[in-house]
């Protein structure tokens, strides 16, 4: 089997620049300029550094009552990887489940009905952004600028503040319409999202009612809708990191379990033979989403499950849509806020009260995190390292010749 192949001209919409590709865990082509070794080392190293900064720098500063600013700066610097890595790997917008501004502007350029639809979508999301920012400014100001409610409302109600808030909303809406929404597979990925919401949402509500039946009385449709609308974009941002960045790296690090007769187009029977390995890779990748929610252990469990589901679907291009993932995240997160209020801590990271209580056992957490990272590398070494040695760096033609 050839693992890297030059892109055909026909695939330009999904692979805008000619270049090498690699078969991912689901047996599908992904644009990629680096080999599998790079794609396993990079995410493991990034997550390891993140955990060291959180629990080895931020946490001790918190315990000593010192400012965690040095940790914030270091984590911010590490976040640059999210912007540099896609350039190095030549990831596509579609590979991360994002839209491409070129698609929207091409539709406007076409004229006629496509132009009308494209402009209508742009205007709708820009207006939606303005309305959302204006009415949800209190929550946004707290999350983005650590601004208290009184100052946030005073700023919004001033002439200059109103202009600024609405302007930010319009800008956010423009970015959503041009970058966040991937239009070519949105309907298909939305169907998947609704199925995931139906299954996991039912589980979430059922368990929540069993734990605390008063959750049903706390449910208010209007508040839920507002929280859901705002949570979609926060969820999409998180999934850009986990499903987009980590998911992309891992599905390229681990190749398919078997060789398809036609590389990149496995049959139903061949896909079935790939499922076992695909599940284990999804489990490993999904565990990263759970890991970031330590020390809220209930949240760790559920987000790990959610991460596995999203990682599984994200391996196939037809399901890879960041907005659809944001809808899943937003709906389930909003349901959890209603039905688990008071029973589950939604505060995560080294600065929480629960984290402070971990101090005597921090070595256990450190050991667990180290073992977790080692499992990734060992699993990859056992399943894919030999394949890498024979093909890495070799670019082959579409017909399979060198």
Residues near 103 by beta carbon (within 8 Å), at least 6 away in sequence: 183, 184
Could you report the per-residue pLDDT of 31-74, keeping only the tens digit for each? 999 989 999 999 999 999 999 999 999 999 988 888 888 888 99
pLDDT at residue 10, rounded to an integer: 36
CA-CA distance, 278 to 256, in Å (whole number)? 8
* pTM, 2 dp: 0.84
Comparing CA positions, the residue from 344, 332, 345, 343 lying closest to residue 203 is: 332
| Cα distance between residue 185 and residue 181, in whole Å | 10
Check residue 84 and give its pLDDT: 93
Strands 29-31 and 20-23, bridge-based pairing: antiparallel
306 in the same domain as 285: yes
The total number of structural domains in the chain stands at 2
Residues 85, 104, single domain; the answer is no
| CA–CA dist 139, 146 (Å, integer) | 9
CA distance 278 to 271: 10
- CB–CB of 193/328 below 8 Å? yes
Interval 293-349: pLDDT, tens: 888 888 899 999 999 999 999 999 999 999 999 999 999 999 998 999 878 888 778
* Residues 235 and 328 grouped into a single domain: yes
8 pLDDT exceeds 60? no
Residue 396 lies in a domain: no
Residue 4 has pLDDT above 50, yes or no: no
Query: Quick one: pLDDT band at residue 398, thresholds 50, 70, 90?
Result: very low
282-291: per-residue pLDDT in tens?
999 999 999 8
Could you say which of 155, 180, 205 is where a domain stops? Answer: 180
**Residues 42 and 152 reside in one and the same domain:** no
- Per-residue pLDDT of 77-94, as tens digits, reads 888 988 899 999 999 999
CA dihedral of residues 252, 258, 259, 262 (deg, nearest 10): -90
Beta-ladder partners of 21: 5, 31
Q: Is residue 259 part of a domain?
A: yes
Q: Please give the C-alpha separations between residue 72 and each of 28, 59, 156, 236, 246, in angstroms, as whole numbers.
A: 38, 11, 28, 22, 21
Q: Which of 152, 180, 208 is the last residue of a domain?
A: 180
The pLDDT value given to residue 129: 87
* pLDDT on residue 389: 45
In a domain, 16, yes or no: no
Give domain status of residue 9, yes or no.
no
Residue 128 has pLDDT above 50, yes or no: yes
Decide if 253 is inside a domain.
yes
Q: Look at residue 387 in the predicted model and tell me its pLDDT.
A: 64
Of 347, 322, 356, 346, residue with least CA distance to 92: 322
Q: Are residues 326 and 360 in the same domain?
A: yes
Question: Is residue 30 within a helix (H) or strand (E), and if so which, with residue range?
Answer: strand 29-31
Return the SS3 of 171. Answer: helix
How confident is the model at residue 354, as a pLDDT?
A: 78
Over the stretch 130-171, which tens digit does the pLDDT of each residue have? 988 898 888 788 877 878 889 999 999 999 999 999 999 999
Instruction: Please check whether residues 169 and 312 belong to one and the same domain.
Output: no
Whether 138 and 189 map to the same domain: the answer is no
Q: How many CB atoms lie within 10 A of CB 394?
A: 12
Instruction: Evaluate whether residue 209 is within a structural domain.
Output: yes
Quote the pLDDT of residue 14: 45
Helix (H) or strand (E) holding 22: strand 20-23
Helix H segments across 81-158?
81-89, 101-110, 112-135, 137-145, 149-157
Same domain for 268 and 154, yes or no, is no
* 158-208 per-position pLDDT tens digit: 999 999 999 999 998 898 899 888 998 999 999 999 999 999 999 999 999
Task: Report residue 397's pLDDT band, with 50, 70 and 90 as the boundaries.
Answer: very low
Residue pair 22/7 in contact (Cβ under 8 Å)? The answer is: no
Residue 402: band (very low, low, confident or very high) from pLDDT cuts 50, 70, 90: very low
Q: What's the domain range around 330?
A: 28-97+185-391
Q: How far apart are CA 396 and CA 402, in angstroms?
A: 5
Last residue of a domain, one of 128, 145, 180: 180
| The pLDDT of residue 249 is above 90 | yes
When comparing pLDDT for 187 and 352, which is higher? 187
The larger pLDDT score, comparing residue 231 to residue 7, is at 231
In this structure, the answer to whether residues 164 and 40 fall within a common structural domain is no
Do 376 and 360 lie in a common domain? yes
Instruction: Give me the pLDDT at residue 388, please.
Output: 54
Q: Is 402 inside a domain boundary? A: no
What value, to the nearest 5°, has the Cα angle with vertex 233 and ends 232 and 237? Answer: 120
Residues 72 and 193 in one domain: yes
354 against 123, higher pLDDT: 123
pLDDT value of residue 38:
93
Q: Is 23 part of a structural domain of the chain? A: no
Same domain, 196 and 270: yes
Q: How confident is the model at residue 235 (pLDDT cuts 50, 70, 90)?
A: confident
């Amino acid at each position: 089997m050839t693992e890297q192949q030059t892109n055909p001209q026909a695939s330009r919409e999904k692979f805008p620049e000619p270049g090498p590709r690699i078969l991912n865990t689901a047996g599908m082509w992904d644009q990629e300029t680096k080999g599998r070794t790079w794609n396993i080392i990079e995410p493991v190293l990034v997550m390891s550094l993140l955990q060291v900064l959180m629990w080895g720098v931020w946490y001790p500063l918190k315990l000593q009552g010192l400012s965690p600013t040095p940790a914030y700066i270091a984590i911010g610097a590490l976040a640059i990887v999210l912007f540099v890595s896609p350039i190095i790997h030549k990831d596509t917008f579609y590979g991360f489940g994002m839209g491409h501004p070129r698609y929207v502007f091409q539709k406007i350029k076409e004229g006629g009905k496509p132009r009308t639809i494209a402009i209508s979508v742009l205007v709708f999301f820009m207006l939606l952004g303005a309305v959302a920012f204006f009415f949800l400014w209190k929550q946004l100001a707290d999350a983005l600028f650590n601004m208290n409610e009184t100052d946030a409302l005073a700023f919004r109600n001033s002439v200059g503040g109103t202009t600024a808030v609405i302007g930010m909303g319009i800008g956010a809406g423009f970015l959503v319409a041009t970058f966040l929404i991937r239009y070519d597979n949105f309907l298909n990925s939305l169907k998947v999202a609704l199925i995931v919401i139906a299954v996991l949402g039912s589980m979430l509500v059922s368990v929540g009612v069993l734990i605390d039946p008063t959750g049903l009385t706390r449910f208010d449709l209007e508040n839920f809708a507002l929280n859901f609308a705002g949570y979609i974009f926060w969820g999409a941002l998180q999934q850009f990191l986990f499903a987009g960045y980590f998911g992309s790296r891992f599905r390229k690090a681990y190749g398919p379990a078997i060789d398809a007769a036609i590389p990149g187009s496995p049959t139903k029977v061949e896909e079935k033979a790939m499922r076992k390995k695909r599940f284990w890779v999804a489990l490993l990748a999904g565990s990263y989403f759970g890991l970031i929610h330590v020390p809220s252990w209930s949240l760790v469990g559920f987000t790990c499950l959610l991460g596995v589901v999203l990682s599984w679907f994200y391996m196939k291009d037809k399901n890879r849509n960041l907005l659809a993932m944001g809808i899943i995240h937003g709906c389930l997160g909003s349901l959890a806020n209603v039905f688990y209020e008071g029973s589950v801590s939604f505060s995560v990271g080294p600065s929480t009260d629960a984290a402070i209580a971990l101090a005597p056992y921090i070595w256990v957490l450190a050991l667990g995190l180290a073992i977790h990272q080692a499992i990734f590398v060992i699993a990859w070494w056992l399943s894919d390292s030999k394949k890498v040695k024979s093909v890495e760096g070799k670019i082959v033609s579409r017909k399979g010749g060198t």
